[in-house]
Structure 1
Amino acid sequence: MKAALFLFIFCLISVLPAAADISPAGEAGTARISDLYSDLESFDVTLFSDQPEENLSLEVLLVRIEGLNEETLGRQVFSAGSFPANTSVMKVGFWNFRNPERGAYALRAKLLAGEKILSEAKYDFVYGSNSASRLQVNDLVPNSQGISIALSPKEASLFDIEYMLVDNSNVAYFTKTEKLSLTSAPDIFSASWGTLLENNKEYTGRVKIQVYSPDKEFISSTENFTARDDAEISDIFKDETGASATVFGRSQVPFEGILIFSVYELEENSKKGTQRLVESSQARVPVLLNNDDETIEVAWSHRLTKGVYRLEIELLGNDGDVIEHRETILESDLSQASNVSAVNNSTSGTEASSGKRIPGFSAAASISGLAAIFIYLRKQS
């Protein structure tokens, strides 16, 4: 009889959409739970306050429902932090179940100020029901630039996607795209992080999808990643006077790297093809974020004479590690004699403009002065 009753309840829950039951407690105007969601991988609780709040805590329980009995599978308590007035704050947590059992589950959440319950809520859901989801998550890839998810439709669907950057239990960045659609072919949906990341720090990328009809349905997926500074050399220019490289940012970790330009002369007569370092120069790259670019230029201390050179460019990251290494050939047609002549011409031009007298200037000035005196004396007479 009990088995039949449990089977009836389980089937009834399986055909009903997951739902949240929110029952605020305490006085009106205090902080409260405004929304919550859970599956067996992760959960989120949205908090709201009409006035600033501090020193609050959030208690979350995951329970498994078996007939009229409940078994507590997990409990988490963490600080809810401070609340600015009229602002929603989302807290995220994660479960770790290797072999979950099919059945009915519930998330119970309490917002506490000390021992006082300000608000409590419950979210019921079913794991492993026979009702198949209308969308399937094929892959999820978060990285230092943003997050991408590959979805396949089992039937035409209209849905929203929430993208979250999670730092411990805090949502460091949140963005939402509404009224997306899939009809028959798989597709990839992406979002860029709109906040700065810390180098070598671990974050979690989380996506929550809401399908509209025939019943409201949620799907979530999470994946961890470590934020890294990253950039690439997108363009190079070089000649006998200098070189330049354009650096393109590929991360929301502020990139503060260095470019090193090294020129090696290729010894034509050497049997072993040895190379002689002619010059090496380095320059700091201005701070870059994702999709930013800067062109950095260096000038050689002297023009490269006729010959073939190997130009080596290394891009170093924030930690001094080599992000990218590029090599190219530089050929100069400038002979030793023309190089010396160019230097001499430059020196002569400098002397001409440095204030030396132009021949004939003193004589012309003297003649003009005598003519003026003669005209003046003639008028007097």
Structure 2
Amino acid sequence: MKAALFLFILFIISATPAFAADGSPAGEANTARIAELYSDLESFDVTLYSTQPEENLSLEALLVSSEGTHEKTLDRQVLLAGSLPANIRATKVGFWNVSNPERGSYTLRARLLEGKQVISEAEYNFAYGSNSASRLQVNDLVPNSQGMSVALSPKEASLFDIEYMLVNGSDVVYTTRTEKLSLTSTPDVFSALWGTLLENNKEYVGRVKIQVYSPQREFISSTERFTARNDAEITDIYEDETGASATVFGRSQVPFEGDLVFSVYELAGASGNGNSGLVESTRARVPVLLNNDDETVEVAWSQRLSEGVYRLEIELLGNDGDIIERRETIIQSDLSPVSNVSQVNDSDNGTVTPDENDEDGVPGFPSVAGITGLIVVSVFLRRIRS
């Protein structure tokens, strides 16, 4: 019994330090830090990482020029890092305000702060206007509500990666990366579509970051601002004397929530070239569309168009009621009123019934029944008299 008690006490004493040792290093490692950073004289980006959620952090970035031992701070940016989720890389982008830059060496100095306490800091050195030009050149950059395209030209054959960034304020809200692209001797255009929803009439920044691997790893970046707009187009229409339809194709990552307006005008004159008068106008809602989505909207006229030539006008209205596109076509109806069976309104139930006294046709059923009744009554009276 004493031996068993001794072994139990020995187990507790030996196990206690082991639990303390496991908890201490884990607590020290759970801190936010600057994982990666890059800068040129136009913009910079800083990637943050934390193994546990963090709140109320800020990021201070300094652009410093160096001439020998002399340093000069050219610009200072402070970005709100906000909330950092655990184990997710978050990238912040800032833009320098530097006029008339000179050739030389520059440094990005970034500090991650919690209040006034420095949690992490890092530096990135780069040169401007050096003789070692990049192997690639950005000729043009066009971001819009669908995505972004960049035109590149090579100075020599190159392999490279392109990272496309959608920036809202200082936050990178969407990024996609294409790797192992190549250019040999001729320029080419590279594109990517946004994979996130955009807000109508809001300004964003499209940014590309290109990484070239040889002879040494280097980066090229370029940015361009744009305003997101809802956009769509009419790709196909159909029309006849009973109704019309239009197919709408989405061309934006801003959700399209517009309308279609179908208006029919009767053209005067046999040739249909005279003035026109509005016959009917119908407005229909377009189902919500995103980029590369399409929907067909159909409408029916309140009554079939009689014989004649008509002008059909279809207007595609955007989220704000603005006219995005207008299409026109002709409807030629061969439906003649003379060829139709004449119709009158039944006053009892409001339905339409055939005319009972068609001059050129066979007498209607009520007339036949009346004549038959008179014949039956006449025969009956003759039998009584006899």
For the criterion TM > 0.5, the same-fold answer is: yes
- Superposed CA deviations along residues 31-54 of structure 1, whole A, max 9, x for unmatched, are 000000000000000000001110
CA distance in 1, matches of 2:325, 2:219: 42
Contact kept, 8 Å, 1:59 with 1:109, in 2: the verdict is: yes
- Superposed CA deviations along residues 70-99 of structure 1, whole A, max 9, x for unmatched, are 100010112101111111000000112232
Which amino acid letter does the alignment assign opposite residue 152 of structure 2? L
Q: What are the equivalent positions in structure 2 for 1:95-134 lying under 5 Å apart?
A: 95-134=96-135
Return the TM-score normalized by structure 1. Answer: 0.82
Q: Secondary structure at the match of 2:130?
A: coil
CA distance in 1, matches of 2:100, 2:328: 52
TM-aligned CA deviation for residue 342 of structure 1: 9.9
Which amino acid letter does the alignment assign opposite residue 305 of structure 2? L
The residue that corresponds to 1:10 in the other structure is none
The residue that corresponds to 1:296 in the other structure is 297
The residue that corresponds to 1:75 in the other structure is 76
TM-aligned CA deviation for residue 338 of structure 1: 3.7
Q: What are the equivalent positions in structure 2 for 1:150-169 lying under 5 Å apart?
A: 150-169=151-170
The residue that corresponds to 2:140 in the other structure is 139
- Superposed CA deviations along residues 287-345 of structure 1, whole A, max 9, x for unmatched, are 1111110000000011111111100000110111000011111111111134446999x
The change in CA–CA distance for 1:187 and 1:164 in structure 2 (over 3 A counts) is same
The residue that corresponds to 1:262 in the other structure is 263
The residue that corresponds to 2:348 in the other structure is none
Which amino acid letter does the alignment assign opposite residue 52 of structure 1? P
Does residue 273 in structure 1 map to residue 269 in structure 2? no
The residue that corresponds to 2:199 in the other structure is 198
Which amino acid letter does the alignment assign opposite residue 207 of structure 1? V
Q: More deviation in 334-343 or 110-119?
A: 334-343
CA distance in 1, matches of 2:342, 2:61: 82
Which amino acid letter does the alignment assign opposite residue 225 of structure 1? F
The residue that corresponds to 1:246 in the other structure is 247
The change in CA–CA distance for 1:315 and 1:271 in structure 2 (over 3 A counts) is closer
The residue that corresponds to 2:31 in the other structure is 30
Q: What are the equivalent positions in structure 2 for 1:1-381 lying under 5 Å apart?
A: 27-268=28-269, 273-340=274-341
- Superposed CA deviations along residues 216-243 of structure 1, whole A, max 9, x for unmatched, are 0100000000000110000000000000
Contact kept, 8 Å, 1:196 with 1:252, in 2: the verdict is: yes
Whichever of the two has the greater Rg, that structure is: 2
- Superposed CA deviations along residues 156-205 of structure 1, whole A, max 9, x for unmatched, are 00000000000000001111111111111111100001111111110000
CA distance in 2, matches of 1:272, 1:33: 71
Contact kept, 8 Å, 1:305 with 1:339, in 2: the verdict is: no
Which amino acid letter does the alignment assign opposite residue 284 of structure 1? R
CA distance in 1, matches of 2:30, 2:222: 34
- Structure number with the bigger relative contact order (C-alpha 8 A, sep ≥ 6) is 1
The change in CA–CA distance for 1:130 and 1:342 in structure 2 (over 3 A counts) is farther
Contact kept, 8 Å, 2:267 with 2:273, in 1: the verdict is: no
The change in CA–CA distance for 1:38 and 1:271 in structure 2 (over 3 A counts) is closer
Q: More deviation in 73-82 or 203-212?
A: 73-82
The change in CA–CA distance for 1:241 and 1:78 in structure 2 (over 3 A counts) is same
CA distance in 2, matches of 1:94, 1:339: 74
- Superposed CA deviations along residues 264-306 of structure 1, whole A, max 9, x for unmatched, are 1110069982111111111011111111100000000111111
Over the matched positions of the two proteins, sequence identity in percent amounts to 76
Contact kept, 8 Å, 1:142 with 1:225, in 2: the verdict is: yes
CA distance in 1, matches of 2:68, 2:341: 96
The change in CA–CA distance for 1:65 and 1:342 in structure 2 (over 3 A counts) is farther
- Once superposed, what is the RMSD of the aligned Cα atoms? 2.0
The change in CA–CA distance for 1:109 and 1:140 in structure 2 (over 3 A counts) is same
Q: Which runs of 5+ in 1 are unaligned?
A: 1-25, 350-381
- How many residues align? The count is 323
CA distance in 2, matches of 1:239, 1:348: 26
Q: Which runs of 5+ in 2 are unaligned?
A: 1-26, 346-350, 355-386
Which amino acid letter does the alignment assign opposite residue 310 of structure 2? Y
Contact kept, 8 Å, 1:303 with 1:339, in 2: the verdict is: no
The change in CA–CA distance for 1:101 and 1:334 in structure 2 (over 3 A counts) is same
- Superposed CA deviations along residues 10-58 of structure 1, whole A, max 9, x for unmatched, are xxxxxxxxxxxxxxxx943200000000000000000000011101111
CA distance in 2, matches of 1:99, 1:244: 58
Contact kept, 8 Å, 1:65 with 1:104, in 2: the verdict is: yes
Return the TM-score normalized by structure 2. Answer: 0.81
Contact kept, 8 Å, 1:138 with 1:151, in 2: the verdict is: yes
CA distance in 1, matches of 2:69, 2:264: 79
